[in-house]
Copies of this chain bind each other. A is one copy, B any other.
Amino acid sequence: MIKELKSFYESQQLDNDLISHFFKEADEISEDYEDNLLKGQILVTLFYEPSTRTRMSFESAMLKLGGNVISTENAKEFSSAIKGETIEDTIRVIENYVDCVVIRHHEEGMVKRAADIARIPVINAGDGRGQHPTQALLDLYTINSEMGRVKDLNISLVGDLANGRTVRSLCYLLAKYPNNKLTFVSPENLRMKEDIKEHLREHKVEFTEENDLNKVLSSSDVVYMTRIQKERMTPEEYQKSKGKYIINESNFNLLRRESRILHPLPRVDEIQLPLHIEKYDPRVAFFRQAENGLYIRMALLKHFMAD
């Protein structure tokens, strides 16, 4: 019997059995799926922050399973939030109309607040500097399908670790498997925060901090690149860190053939490779990672609405 989630707001909610269950489901879905499974059900995507891939992959996942979607591209300005409504009231109204809600919010903790009051499942699609647990799950799924395992790996997490909610969520998941070694590569001002480091120490996960990307490329099984999140820092901070970590033709071949580059996307300038490398070199895994997002989200929607 796997644990059943009521809502999904942070990656710590998952245990290893449930993760394996989602991996198995996503594998099967990538082959074939019941296109009528969620017929008659409605998913609402409530997005208070910009998104392309997350919103679209959730909406596509729902439509492919036969369900319907109500969409909010710009809830910050065009929902009742602008009139001063609390997230709790919003949820207590919306839950009368739909069967599941996916929320992206600019404020950390808001999705948990929504989940706490909701009668319907609430899924976190990113909350401020908090978490992005469905991204973490698809990242882990990608690591598993690319490397054949999610343990015994050297994983370098690179870029804006202070603001990157995807790396935060991913660290919780990687800590569940034995013998992973993490290297945090970031500018001094964008270091991984203490709460995550504390969690890793508690769970006896080895980690180091590093400034120089090139030093770690040859020893990494997985290099998880992230964007410097301009919109979450001052212009001065951005100037200090932008363009600091780049993978291009000059350092790409420091990576071993069996290593993989992941990126939650969007990227700005942190990966600059010729098209033929991006298309044909197996080390470039981030578009397969985006594709995996669809299967993982289909598995999640199935869990919340059909299982």
Seen from chain A, the residues whose Cβ lies within 8 Å of a Cβ on chain B are 35, 40, 42, 44, 47, 50-53, 56-57, 59-60, 63-64, 68-75, 77-85, 89-90, 92-94, 96-98, 227, 230-231, 265-269, 287, 290-291, 293-294
In the bound complex, what is the Cα–Cα distance between A230 and B82 (angstroms)? 11
Beyond A42-B64, A85-B267, A96-B287, list 12 extra A-B contacts (CB 8 Å).
Answer: A51-B79, A51-B80, A52-B85, A53-B80, A53-B94, A74-B78, A80-B265, A84-B227, A84-B269, A85-B266, A92-B290, A93-B287
In the bound complex, what is the Cα–Cα distance between A35 and B42 (angstroms)? 13
Are B291 and A89 within 8 A (Cβ)? no
List, in ascending order, chain B residues with CB within 8 A of A294's CB: 96-97
* Contact A93/B59 with A51-B78, A83-B227 known, Cβ cut-off 8 Å: no
In the bound complex, what is the Cα–Cα distance between A297 and B97 (angstroms)? 11
Are A78 and B73 within 8 A (Cβ)? yes
Residue of B nearest to A269 (CB): B84
* Contact A71/B71 with A50-B77, A97-B57 known, Cβ cut-off 8 Å: yes
Are B97 and A60 within 8 A (Cβ)? yes
In the bound complex, what is the Cα–Cα distance between A106 and B109 (angstroms)? 33
List, in ascending order, chain B residues with CB within 8 A of A64's CB: 40, 42
* Contact A50/B70 with A56-B94, A265-B89, A268-B85 known, Cβ cut-off 8 Å: no
Of A50, A81, A97, most B-chain CB atoms within 10 Å: A97
In the bound complex, what is the Cα–Cα distance between A266 and B73 (angstroms)? 19
Of A47, A96, A268, A269, most B-chain CB atoms within 10 Å: A96
In the bound complex, what is the Cα–Cα distance between A73 and B268 (angstroms)? 23
- The smallest C-beta distance from A7 to any residue of chain B, in angstroms, reads 18
Residue of B nearest to A59 (CB): B70
Residue of B nearest to A40 (CB): B35
Are A44 and B73 within 8 A (Cβ)? no
Are B53 and A93 within 8 A (Cβ)? yes
